[in-house]
Amino acid sequence: MANVIINPQYGGSETGKINNSFIEKNFNLDIAKVIYNTLKEKGIETSLLRDSDQTISLQERLNMIDKLVKPNEENILISTTVAEGGSSGAEIIYALRNEDDLASQISNELEANGLNVLKYYQLRNPDDTSKDFYAIIREPENTESMIISLGYIDNSVDNNYLLNNVEKLGKSIANGIYNYIKKENIYVVKSGDTLFSIANKFNVTVQAIKNINNLSSNILNVGQELVIPKEETPSTSGEFINYTVKAGDSLYKIANAYNTTVNAIMNVNNLTSNALQVGQVLKIPTTVNEETKDYINYTVKSGDSLYKIANNYNTTVDEIKKLNNLTSNNLQINQVLKIPTTSQQDTTSYINYTVKSGDSLYKIANNYKTTVDEIKKLNNLTSNNLQINQVLKIPTTTNQGTQNYINYTVKSGDSLYKIANTYNTTVDEIKKLNNLTSNNLQINQVLKIPK
């Protein structure tokens, strides 16, 4: 089963945010205790990093988490907090190494119990975009880690709701965690099942299933409940990582996924053929250059082309082909590409803008108080031609970089009225800030929303 660690932020001399009678350290502890007790009642192994008003430094918390993490179990780390800034609603930030399934389950439970969840998302460190922004998410290894911000205490509606619904909110989070654990980890043996067929179904090894269930043989009984470990995360060792072969793997597929070559894998593993076995452990070579690389990894999806990917990441087809040693423009779904980034991209102040019908460089430059030449230079454009849904980097000035707005991408079902309500502003303010002459919106349109 899973191992859940609850981290109520702040405590002792660190009060967190305060608004009238609302003191964040107390709220975080109260809701953490509800989560803890609810999960315990459901039979889930759960720990609290603090159960009283005590000061714990970040490093002490990380050390405590390290001791509580169990190597052969699904470790879930939940940190609770609140926000300030005048908006309204909850937000969930989850780790770059994790999928959004757990965040989605918790979000569903919170919304079902009356709390508006603005979004769940990942937040990258601007100094190193391959890493998470927050250390409490980034540092603990072998954990599914997230921060749940339950509302804005300087918003009177949120403040009152949080103070009066601690029990309901804590149980909602606990139920979301429980639903996720039961959905992902338990498999009921059916007639005809074998450990080998179940391992193949979930892309894990037979031994991993036996270890987590303390099985001494391969014999199964119909109706027996098995804990299914998540796909194993490759472990790092020196200049290579250990990778366990799964059903459907090939040397070519693995080499693409880890930005290496079939020959390099064969050499480091002393392989004489391309044949692989499920459960076989391979050493996958890495290099110092890859650790300090100036690129990101991108997994090809249905409908992708080199031209489309190059546009989305403000680079060129030739640069992508050169970095990936490609000899043609053909791509395969799930192929992993290295997408080049540059120092200029990391340090230049810009926003991303998605081209809409009727746009021109001149119109966009006017809207964002820049010039056509600046946009072309930043995006390596050689002409003024644009394509609908093309993503452009729009340079910002110092004033623009500090102005009081956030960027919002329009989703299906959005309206100016709905967006204005969500962000506690008005339709007129949004239209004025974006130079809109009508209330019509397009999916993927990027709006500036005043804070």
287 found inside a domain: no
In the DSSP assignment, the letter for residue 256 is H
Torsion 319-324-326-332 (CA) sign: negative
Question: Long-range contacts made by residues 372-380, C-beta under 8 angstroms, separation at least 24?
Answer: 378/314, 378/348, 378/350, 379/314, 380/314, 380/315, 380/316
CATH number of domain containing 433:
3.10.350.10
| pLDDT tens digits along 169-190 | 999 999 999 888 876 456 778 8
Query: For residue 99, how many other CB atoms are within 10 A of its CB?
Result: 12
74 found inside a domain: yes
How many angstroms separate the CA atoms of 91 and 103, rounded?
Answer: 10
DSSP code string of 39-107: HHHTT-EEEES-SSS----HHHHHHHHHHH--TTSEEEEEEEEEE-SS--SEEEEE-TTS-SHHHHHHH
Domain co-membership, 16 together with 123:
yes
Can you give the pLDDT at residue 415? 87
Domain co-membership, 241 together with 140:
no
371 found inside a domain: yes
120 found inside a domain: yes
Can you give the pLDDT at residue 401? 41
pTM for the whole structure: 0.46
Strands (E), 345-418: 350-354, 391-395, 405-409
H or E segment at 284? strand 281-285
288 found inside a domain: no
Domain co-membership, 12 together with 160:
yes
Domain co-membership, 205 together with 260:
no
Domain co-membership, 252 together with 378:
no
Domain co-membership, 51 together with 143:
yes
Can you give the pLDDT at residue 349? 66
Structural domain for 6, as ranges: 2-185
Domain co-membership, 15 together with 133:
yes
Of 185, 202, 218, the position where a domain reaches its end is: 185
Can you give the pLDDT at residue 404? 67
Domain co-membership, 442 together with 335:
no
DSSP code string of 105-130: HHHHHHHHTT--EEEEE--EETTEEE
Domain co-membership, 136 together with 276:
no
Domain co-membership, 255 together with 173:
no
How many angstroms separate the CA atoms of 340 and 314, rounded?
Answer: 9
- If one counts the domains in the chain, the total is 5
Ranges of residues in the chain whose predicted pLDDT is under 50: 184, 233, 235, 288-293, 343-347, 398-402
How many angstroms separate the CA atoms of 323 and 166, rounded?
Answer: 52
Domain co-membership, 54 together with 132:
yes
Domain co-membership, 400 together with 269:
no
